[in-house]
Amino acid sequence: MKKSQIEEGIVKGFMLLSFSLVVCSLGFILVTVIVKGLPALNLDMLIQTPKGGYYLGKEGGILNAIVGSLYLAGGATLLALVFSLPIALFLKTYSRRKWWADYVRLSLDILWGIPSIVYGAFGFTLMLALGLRASLLGGIIVLALLELPIMTRGMDEVIRRMPIDMEEAAYALGATRFETAMHVVLRQMLPGIVTAILLAFGRGIGDAASVLFTAGYTDRIPNSLLRPVASLPLAVFFQLGTPFPEVQNRAYAAALVLTVIILVVSLGSRWLSARMGRYTIK
């Protein structure tokens, strides 16, 4: 056998290995969650809030955590979007000094790397100072902080890949910077931007540590931004921590619900960006 053939074989082997590693770990997670969670999952779990004695294995559901998680992650994603889209567009279109934009990018990368428990602790300190209690609002703010660097850098990478010639084409037609940013840059980048938003949403909805202190936990569905709110990751955490097997199985059911939400979001984002990508220039 020739040397080049051996090299080819080794590289192919590594590719197969990495492929199966990725696919298998996803498969194992799904199988574990489904096998352990599906038997405990029933309609009541999805449409009821916990009744008395729920955590001892009596009746009720995790509707409080499902709705709470959607509130938290939805609110945080909206809030993060309000800030990250202008930041990303600014970095690309307006910033004239490159070092300054690079400095902002570096800061965002550092923020990205900060563990979410630190965000939680920071948010907790902030809330103490402001006299806020654990609440939906507090959770949304801290989750938005967590999501902001992910979303902004995601958008920034997408926007930076924008071909300069396309912008020049818009400028040549007499478009202003603002028109170019809104009609051309944004439209070209929309599929990527949606992906960044949903990526951040997925990260936000799955995070437990940052909402532990800031959002609290409750068996009710909050009717105000200032009330505490439950979340699916914490529902998993608390139920898994009980000594009762049936409650532990419900933790897996909650994990299954969370996984399905994230799966739907990421598959939905793929579908959506393919649809919106109809006109983008590749």
By CB under 8 A, residue 184 contacts other proteins: yes
Neighbours of 282 (CB within 10 A): 5
By CB under 8 A, residue 170 contacts other proteins: yes
Closest distance of CB 158 from other proteins, Å: 13
Buried b (16+ CB within 10 A) or exposed e, 139-170: bbbbbbbbbbbbbbbbbbebbeebeeeebeeb
Place of tokens 């955490």: 237
Closest distance of CB 220 from other proteins, Å: 46
* Site track 193-212 with other proteins (rule: CB under 8 A), x = hit: --------------------
Contact 66, 259 (CB under 8 A): no
Region 134-163 residues binding other proteins, contact defined as CB under 8 A: 163
Neighbours of 136 (CB within 10 A): 24
Nearest to 141, CA basis, from 202, 207, 196, 75: 75
Closest distance of CB 189 from other proteins, Å: 9
By CB under 8 A, residue 93 contacts other proteins: no
Nearest to 207, CA basis, from 23, 16, 51, 77: 77
Size of the site for other proteins (CB under 8 A): 23
Closest distance of CB 218 from other proteins, Å: 46
* Site track 1-40 with other proteins (rule: CB under 8 A), x = hit: ----------------------------------------
Return the range that interacts with other proteins (CB under 8 A); candidates 79-87, 109-117, 173-181, 222-230: 173-181
* CB contact set of 264 (below 8 Å; sequence gap of 6+): none
Residues that bind other proteins (CB under 8 A): 96, 163, 165-166, 168-176, 179, 183-184, 187-188, 278-282
